[in-house]
Amino acid sequence: MSGGNEAAVGGEVSDRSKQTPKLTPADRRQLCRELATGEVRRAALARRYGVTTGYISKFAGERSREIKAIQDKLDDAFAGLWVASKEARLAALQAMYEESEQGEYGGHFEQIRTRTMILRQVAEELGALPNRSSAMIITPVVHIIQGDVDLDALK
């Protein structure tokens, strides 16, 4: 390849001389799936994503747990997605909560409200709160008539 520039899968042009190519989250996920199946050689993956084979190897090493999770469940479309893991979702919520406490605005109303919403999400995740749903309850109406009333006059 001449010039060192190639179109990456995400539509961006990547310069191979840069240290960290910018792959979209969808590109990273697809790359993990392709590494997990082992059907495409790393050199071909490097060309497809506009990176070096060294980057592909480094990526595979850094994401080895995710790739292993995908290998274990290749038929599961959600394998390897952190959001599909309850533990990972809770960890992300915890990180957001802790981040909202930091800095000079940690006691600000909006930050407190954000933490309250995060805690509610955690409680829902853990099953401490019922899922939000609506239900229509239909009950018969009973009319009680007291005294002398002419029912025919009410019609």
Q: Which two tokens stand for residue 155?
A: 């019609």
Same domain, 71 and 92: no
Domain span at 42:
5-80
In a domain, 141, yes or no: no
How far apart are alpha carbons 26 and 49 in whole angstroms? 12
Same domain, 73 and 104: no
Reading the chain (155 residues) residue by residue, the pLDDT tens digits are 334 444 445 444 444 444 567 888 888 888 998 999 999 999 999 999 999 999 999 999 999 998 998 888 888 877 777 777 788 888 888 888 888 888 788 788 888 888 888 888 888 888 877 666 667 778 888 877 777 877 787 77
- For 121, residues 6+ apart whose C-beta sits below 8 A from its C-beta are 93
In a domain, 92, yes or no: yes
Please provide residue 91's backbone torsions phi and psi, each rounded to the nearest 5 degrees: -65, -40
pTM exceeds 0.75 for this model: no
Same domain, 64 and 22: yes
Please provide residue 35's backbone torsions phi and psi, each rounded to the nearest 5 degrees: -65, -35
How far apart are alpha carbons 41 and 57 in whole angstroms? 11
In a domain, 149, yes or no: no
Same domain, 42 and 65: yes
In a domain, 135, yes or no: no
Same domain, 75 and 90: no
Same domain, 13 and 35: yes
Closest CA to 17 of 31, 7, 28, 3: 3
Return the amino acid letter for 117. M
Q: How many CA atoms lie within 13 A of 48 on its CB side?
A: 13
Q: Which two tokens stand for residue 57?
A: 């190897």
How far apart are alpha carbons 63 and 32 in whole angstroms? 8
Q: Which two tokens stand for residue 126?
A: 């853990």
Same domain, 21 and 64: yes
CATH number at residue 22: 1.10.10
**Would you state the pLDDT for residue 132?**
65
Return the amino acid letter for 83. V
